[in-house]
Amino acid sequence: MSLRVNALQIAPELRKNLVEELIRRDIFKITQNDNFNFLMTILNNKNKSLRHAVTSLISVIVSTLRGIEYLTTGGNDTAVLDKIIKVMIDLSRF
């Protein structure tokens, strides 16, 4: 949760560096596991606060081209994008 808060408060000119570091550390274990299972597990969690925090962090990551590449490494698989949309719709009712 604190990572999400800090990521949202970072100055725009420093955001690229933050995103690069999050990707380098493979925050969602996409490169390590060669899949999106870890991220999908978080997005499927029943805790709305956790899902909200993760979607906020995702929004920071996709604010750069490298971040978009990181979250779309699976080619044309739209499962993660579909799930993010469903989570956002659900959170709008929060």
pLDDT in tens, 34-61: 889 999 999 999 998 899 889 988 988 9
Name the pTM for this structure.
0.81
DSSP 8-state assignment for residue 6? H
pLDDT band at 21 (very low <50, low <70, confident <90, very high): very high
Which position has the higher pLDDT, 91 or 20? Answer: 20
DSSP sequence for 1-69: -HHHHHHHHS-HHHHHHHHHHHHHTTTT-HHHHTSSHHHHHHHT-S-HHHHHHHHHHHHHHTTSHHHHH
Least confident piece of the model among 28-37, 53-62, 71-80, 81-90: 71-80
Q: Compute the chain's Rg from CA coordinates.
A: 13
Residue labelled with tokens 């925050």: 27
